[in-house]
Amino acid sequence: MTAPDLALGVAGLIGSGVAVIHGRLVQRLMVAPIRQQFSVAPGGQRTMARLVGPLLQFSTFGWFTGGITLIVAAYCLAPDTQFALGLLVGSHFLFGAAANLNATRRAHPGWILMAIAVTLILYSLSAHR
């Protein structure tokens, strides 16, 4: 395994790890209270209660599957495929880091870890070209 492959795999581990922690926190701190609030509301509000969880966890799912994809790419796939997947997943991680930085406006583990993952992806991609 080369250093660029290792960097891609580590970026995947970081992305998936951040996703798991993010998912648990979002579920506990946001989804559960919002669902409870909407569950006592009349009619159409219950539809919103069912949508809250999947919508708030959509980014979690993307980060987790993106991380797993990078790990698999690092170990099993050709450099051209790694490059394409690195661009796709890296852009998703970059958006997550930027959104988190914009929301927190301070040092926060979420955007810092995602920024590290993006840096590792960029290193891996630059080494393959």
Q: SS3 string of 43-100? A: CHHHHHHHHHHHHHHHHHHHHHHHHHHHHHHHHHCCHHHHHHHHHHHHHHHHHHHHHH
pLDDT at position 25 is: 95
Q: Please, which pLDDT band fits residue 107 given cuts at 50, 70 and 90? A: very high
pLDDT tens string 30-79: 988 988 887 776 666 777 777 888 988 999 999 999 999 999 999 999 99
Give the amino acid at 48: M
The mean per-residue pLDDT over the stretch 2-26 comes to: 96
User: Could you tell me the two tokens for 114?
Assistant: 């995602």
pTM of the model: 0.90
pLDDT at position 1 is: 85
pLDDT at position 37 is: 81
Shortest CA distance to 63 belongs to which of 25, 114, 105?
A: 114
The percentage of the chain sitting over the pLDDT mark of 90, rounded to a whole number, equals 78
The mean per-residue pLDDT over the stretch 116-129 comes to: 93
Query: For residues 43 and 101, what is the distance between their CA atoms, to the nearest angstrom?
Result: 37
Q: Please, which pLDDT band fits residue 129 given cuts at 50, 70 and 90? A: low
Query: For residues 124 and 2, what is the distance between their CA atoms, to the nearest angstrom?
Result: 10
Query: For residues 26 and 29, what is the distance between their CA atoms, to the nearest angstrom?
Result: 5
